[in-house]
Amino acid sequence: MLAANAPRATPEQLSTLAPLAGLAPERLQELSEVAVMERARRGSDPMKERQAQGRSVFLLQGELLLVFEEGGTLVVVGGSPDTCQALNRRKERLGRTKAITDVDLLAIDDEVLDILATWDQVAASGEVEGSEMARAVRSDSRLISGVFSVGNLRTGVFAQLPAAHIDQLLQRFERVKAARGDAVIKEGDEGDYYYVVDSGRFQVERLVGGAKVVLAELKSGDAFGEEALVSEAKRNATVLALADGELLRLAKKDFVELLRDPLLKRVGFEEATERVKEGALWLDVRYPSEYQYDRLPGAINVPLAEVRNMFAVLDRSKEYVAYCQSGRRSAAAAFLFAQRGFKVMVLDGGLWAAQNRP
């Protein structure tokens, strides 16, 4: 039986594993903090319940007998060439295993491995090897622990990005400094850039009835500025630097091409209705006064300004179809949700298009 009381794997141990051999030391250090290392006792079958958990399992220390489904056995020793690959990802399918000694196993989510391999290999490719951002993604500890951390690559703004666009992003993002008190964007201005916080703290505020209302505080890995770019509207809030920090910014044209369009899925009313019949939920992102007047049956009201407050409330396993009057606000809301890993489509053309359909 596995016990979760073994020590953490070291970056040096991780570097000996085939899928991780090319990763930078900083990335290996980060991975060592999220990987699961467990100990199995002599005589147990440590792989019995770990064959189909969506994780790759490696033997780090000890001796393990592998018994294959189609016949044959093999004794493997932690640290040897036979254990550079995951035990449950071998060509020969495992039937059972037996720990000859106490063994230390390391389990890493397959999704995490794939994400890291994708970003690391793209960043190392010939096209972007001269890019400052590409070098940073591979070896800058500040970015690895922040914007491009495993957590953010898995559930943040870049999580659903097509791999083909990663190299372009790494070339077009630029890093800019922000001093304490700087207004990075101002309410009422035209949208020009999309921002991701690298370091520092930033405050989002808006004027309501002449009074300043603080809406949110942003930290490393958080993004802002997308609403005006997605909905083609003016900035609806001001973002101030609460401390010295650095931002990654992307020009509007590049944002639309590389982030907005790939992340937004638009559907017509008929397809949206079918999706709802199959279990999706309507998401009305208009003001409550609009929602009360002509909402769609069963719709949940999440005004655009409240979207960030709903990340911890809505069920991520559900599918949603966002709508407003024209499709502008719902596109902005859908993008905000997509950045956090939600499956949210946009009703193309909004209620106006639905009401005017043949």
> Can you tell me which residue has the tokens 């399992």?
57
Q: Which two tokens stand for residue 259?
A: 């982030």
- Tokens 């949110």 belong to which residue? 216
Other CB atoms within 10 Å distance of the CB of residue 25: 14
Whether 310 contacts 350, CB under 8 Å: no
Structure tokens at 326: 């024209």
Question: What are the backbone dihedrals phi and psi of residue 200, each rounded to the nearest 5 degrees, phi first?
Answer: 100, 180
Locate 47 and state its tokens.
């792989």
Query: Looking at 59, 136, 230, 324, which residue is catalytic?
Result: 324
From CA 183, how far away is CA 180, in angstroms rounded?
9
Pairing of strands 211-218, 202-208: antiparallel
d(CA 235, CA 220): 21
Separation CA 344–CA 318 (nearest Å): 9
DSSP assignment of 70-139 equals TS-EEEEETTSGGGSS-GGGSSSPEEEEEESS-EEEEEEEHHHHHHHHHHHHHHTSTTTTT-HHHHHHHH
Question: What Å distances lie between residue 63 and 10, 75, 81, 334, CA to CA?
Answer: 19, 7, 13, 50
Q: Amino acid identity, residue 185?
A: I
- Residue count of the chain: 358
Residue 324 falls in the annotated catalytic set:
yes
User: Could you tell me how far CA 218 lies from the centroid of its own chain?
Assistant: 17
Q: Is 233 helix (H, G, I), strand (E, B) or coil?
A: coil
Q: DSSP string of 281-336?
A: EEEE-S-HHHHHHHPPTT-EE--GGGGGGGTTTS-TTSEEEEE-SSSHHHHHHHHH
Active-site positions read 324
